[in-house]
Amino acid sequence: MSRPSAAQRKGRPPRLGKGESAEYAYRILRQEVVSLALVPGSDFDEADIVRRLGISRTPLREAVVRLAGEGLVKLSPNRGARVAPLEWQDIREHLEAFEVAQRLVCRWAAIRRDEHELAKLKQLCDAFREAFRRNDATAMANQNWDFHAAIAQCCKNERMTRFYLQLLTENLRISHMAMGFDYYNTKAAYHAHIDQILREHDDIVDAIARRDADAADKLALSHAGLARRRVTEVLSQSTSEDLELDVPRHESRSGGGHV
């Protein structure tokens, strides 16, 4: 990501060229929604955002419509725009849908990928590992998104790709709630979790390279389960000790597992 300009560091919006305001508003608001700086379920204060970003209402509304298309914002004729809620039921439904979608895109990617796409997957896998080595949490989130999005592109089904990318974007907020360094009891626990993610990324790429659809499916199930268990653990601790996120399991001959 680009470094903030001097104007941004001083709290002033940058000078924007013609037609750049909507893109600028989209990038800023998307990051604020994903990072939970904008509280889930809260209303957009249009006047405040216009003043804060130094833009007019038209590009702001263009950005909001784009965010709504990603599932990060809800539009209502009566209430206007508000940040998409993130209640327990929303998280439960997301994780259930994400598991099914991830298994399918990985299975199809193993069957349908080409050599150029495979090379890109390997590059993105390495980029996530390098971001972890630099201890760059923002880059890790971005590289992880890019890696899984590239798998979706390999599946050669535009409808499934769009659906999966929306889930992947929603997942950024959930990950922010549960997988930041501060949410782990120890540094060792954090490193152990990321090391497992790295191993599973490598294994998924290997299965796709071998065109082993069954292995890719099984690994995708494992990968989704790893995330589900982590989210359940953190949210249960933050609400009540006996609360469980009981995502319905789907029987599969490929076997059960974690993420």
Using one digit for the tens of pLDDT, what is the confidence trace for 150-174?
A: 999 999 999 999 999 999 998 888 8
Instruction: Check if 6-83 and 88-239 are the same fold.
Output: no
Inter-helix orientation angle 115-133/137-154, to 10°: 170
- Give the residue among 233, 225, 231, 227 at the shortest CA–CA distance from 258: 225
Q: What single-letter DSSP state applies at residue 84? A: P
d(CA 164, CA 245) in angstroms, rounded, equals 21
Task: Tell me the C-alpha distance between 199 and 49, whole Å.
Answer: 42
CATH match for 88-239 among 1.20.120.530, 1.10.1510.10, 3.40.50.11030, 3.50.50.60? 1.20.120.530
Ranges of each domain in the chain: 6-83, 88-239
pLDDT band at 9 (very low <50, low <70, confident <90, very high): very low
Distance CA(8)–CA(10), nearest Å, equals 5
Position 230 scores a pLDDT of: 81
- Is pLDDT of 256 > 50? no
Closest CA to 138 of 34, 241, 256, 40: 34
The pLDDT > 70 percentage for the chain reads 81
Class of domain 6-83: mainly alpha
Give the range among 84-88, 148-152, 194-198 with minimum mean pLDDT: 84-88
Instruction: Please state which of the ranges 4-8, 23-27, 33-37, 158-162 shows the lowest mean pLDDT.
Output: 4-8
Helices (H), 134-239: 137-154, 158-178, 187-209, 213-239
pLDDT given at position 228: 85
